[in-house]
Amino acid sequence: MVGSVRQQSPPKAVVVGGSIAGVCSAHALISAGWEVVVLEKSLAPPTGSPSGAGLGLDPLSCSIIRSWLPQSELLHSATVPLTIDQNQATDGEKKISWTLARDENFNFRAAHWADLHALLHAALPPHVLLWGHLFLSSQFADDQPSVTLKTKVLQTGEIIESVADLLVAADGCLSSVRQCFLPDFKLRYAGYCAWRGVLDFSGNENSDTITSIRKAYPDLGKCLYFDLGSKTHAVLYELLNKRLNWLWYINQPEPLLKGSSVTMKVSEEMIKEMHKEAEKLWLPELSRLMKQTKEPFLNVIYDSDPLEQIFWGNVVLVGDAAHPTTPHCLRSTNMSVLDAAVLGKCLEKWGAENLCSALGEYQSARLPVVSVQVRHARRLGQIKQGLALHDHPPFDPQEASPEEYRELQQRYIPFFAAVPQILQTVGREPNEETVYM
């Protein structure tokens, strides 16, 4: 028809990995006008599994997530406040604790991994996230600005081929997409593992265990507790719906992992031994909490030296695929949310026709930040675990100076409250620091 304008179809992105980083990427790219499909190898959404446990969201991540939800108040109702960041020392022999450093203006929110994932997943359009789809390979044609992916449908065994303008690798620290470009890449074992668990005390709010833990940790419900012992530390905070989330880091040689997971299978004997050691090291209230937690599990802690690049052509890394990190700075989820938001804004700014420029800006905005945060998280883990440091002797909570206590706090992470310039339109919280980049 004369004078008619041909309507172009939106550019298409395929996201490999349907965890938090993957669903955040889907939201950000859809907001930027892209058609998105997320491939997740798990057969179904998580349903109360503890394997994700608890996480902390910083103010900027909360603002970004709220912008993706149909009602912004949904995030508030699915999380609880973490307004205090407290580091304290425990003498396992005397069974006493004392405060080392306390920040009463922390302003984070605590969520269960499965709750946050469900919230983000429910806000996506139908059929964006494809469960039971295993990424197999990707191919690139020199004469075509696209990527061809092969995927296996696990329930049927069918092999599907699809073409996209952009491949987003959100498949975690063991990323198979990243391995295609960096075949010699190796994760770095941190020197310790973490026992983790979530105690559901609904219906038992007045039990001796809960009454005593609230006396020993009086700010539960609004405080992120770090409990430092001799060459070990534990973490404790409350989640929504009467749940207490805890972690306990133990120095040990690197375990032999089987399969493609950093979560180890544990035996009843291993759990019993963990309970015995907890009784020796921690306050009786905390060791009792650990003992009453059903199905505790063991994470092997890894990170990596920062990558030199996080995109190749029309393939880009986000989340733990881009920057495996130890968990001590609560960065993993927050970096994933911020990666997705910055990527979406860069794509919106440059358009699909300038994909290389968009991914280049994403890389230049994120790499300097995540690199120093990964290294800071590594150092903080070494400090709290009493491991060797290059610039001073191992940290001892009973002998450290006030200056050393200060370094334990979350707010001294580099770029703690900085906002990327490209995200200045996202709702900012009061008292956030100057933008960067």
Per-residue pLDDT reduced to its tens digit, 147-159: 999 999 999 999 9
The residues pairing with 182 across neighbouring beta strands, listed in sequence order, are none
Residue 428: the pLDDT is 43
**Both tokens assigned to 5:** 């304008």
User: Alpha carbon of 20 to those of 36, 129, 181, 386: distances in Å?
Assistant: 15, 12, 23, 31
CATH, range 80-110+194-303: 3.30.9.60
Residue 401: the pLDDT is 87
Alpha-carbon span 18 to 338, nearest angstrom: 16
Residue 256: the pLDDT is 85
Residue 168: the pLDDT is 98
Residue 437: the pLDDT is 39
- Residue-wise pLDDT for 338-368, tens only, equals 999 999 999 999 999 999 999 999 999 999 9
pLDDT-derived band at 220 (thresholds 50, 70, 90) equals: very high
**Both tokens assigned to 355:** 């994909």
The residue among 115, 110, 114 whose CA lies nearest residue 58 is 110
Average pLDDT of the chain is 91
Say if CB 429 and CB 59 are below 8 A apart.
Answer: yes
Say if CB 55 and CB 330 are below 8 A apart.
Answer: yes
The residue among 301, 303, 421 whose CA lies nearest residue 371 is 303
pLDDT of 105 > 60? The answer is yes
Quick one: CATH architecture of 12-75+114-186+307-423? Answer: 3-Layer(bba) Sandwich (3.50)
Residue 7: the pLDDT is 47
Alpha-carbon span 121 to 44, nearest angstrom: 12
Element (H, E) at 29: helix 20-31
The residues pairing with 148 across neighbouring beta strands, listed in sequence order, are 139, 163
Domain boundaries, the chain: 12-75+114-186+307-423, 80-110+194-303
User: Alpha carbon of 270 to those of 106, 199, 317: distances in Å?
Assistant: 35, 18, 36
pLDDT-derived band at 47 (thresholds 50, 70, 90) equals: low
pLDDT of 200 > 70? The answer is yes
Alpha-carbon span 399 to 378, nearest angstrom: 22
On the question of a common fold for 12-75+114-186+307-423 and 80-110+194-303, the answer reads no
> Span 298-312, mean pLDDT?
96
CA angle 154, 157, 161 (to 5 degrees): 95
The residues pairing with 436 across neighbouring beta strands, listed in sequence order, are 420
The mean-pLDDT minimum among 197-201, 217-221, 256-260, 313-317 falls in: 256-260
Residue 144: the pLDDT is 65
Residue 425: the pLDDT is 59
> Span 136-142, mean pLDDT?
83
> pTM for the complete prediction?
0.92
- Residue-wise pLDDT for 221-274, tens only, equals 999 999 999 999 999 999 999 999 999 999 999 998 877 788 888 999 999 999
236 φ/ψ sector (left φ>0, alpha ψ -120 to 50, else beta): beta
- Residue-wise pLDDT for 51-65, tens only, equals 558 999 999 999 999
Residue 426: the pLDDT is 47
- Residue-wise pLDDT for 4-29, tens only, equals 444 478 999 999 999 999 999 999 99
Residue 390: the pLDDT is 81
